[in-house]
């Protein structure tokens, strides 16, 4: 199982902070295009990706227990 976290505009679009999925061995890109397609997140390609709290590339393969976060353009400060 993996946990997918959403923030800011993506969180509002999904309607929840976290989605848990019974999948592993897929890439971040597959997660976006296949598993999250139902949410129709227009801006997800603008988001950075973090796996287990470190920025990661789209070809990162996800393992069971991973926490994936989609990070829209940040605006702290």
Partner 1 sequence: MEKNFWITNEAIEINDVVNKVVRPEAGAVNTFIGTVREFTKGKRTLYLEYQAYASMAEKKLEEIGREIDQKWGDAKTAIAHRTGRLDISDIAVVIAVSTPHRKDAFEASRYAIERIKEMVPIWKKENWEDGTLWIGDQKETKSYKENTPIGEDHTND
For partner 1, the binding residues (CB under 8 A) are: 5, 7-9, 11-12, 45-50, 53, 55-58, 69, 71-77
* Least distance between partner 1 and beta carbon 1 (Å): 19
* Least distance between partner 1 and beta carbon 22 (Å): 23
67, 6 contact by CB (below 8 A): no
* Least distance between partner 1 and beta carbon 54 (Å): 8
Q: What DSSP line would sit under 33-67, residue for residue?
A: IIISGGG--TTGGGSEEEETTEE--TTPBP-TT-E
Nearer to partner 1, 23 or 50 (CB): 50
Closest alpha carbon to 34 in 13, 67, 4: 4
Nearer to partner 1, 36 or 47 (CB): 47
């Amino acid at each position: 199982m993996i946990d997918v976290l959403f923030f800011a505009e993506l969180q509002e679009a999904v309607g929840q902070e976290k989605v848990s999925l019974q999948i592993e061995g897929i890439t971040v890109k597959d997660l976006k295009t296949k598993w999250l397609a139902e949410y129709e997140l227009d801006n997800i390609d603008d988001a950075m990706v973090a796996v287990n709290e470190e920025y990661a590339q789209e070809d990162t393969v996800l393992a069971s227990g991973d926490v994936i976060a989609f990070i829209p353009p940040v605006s702290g400060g």
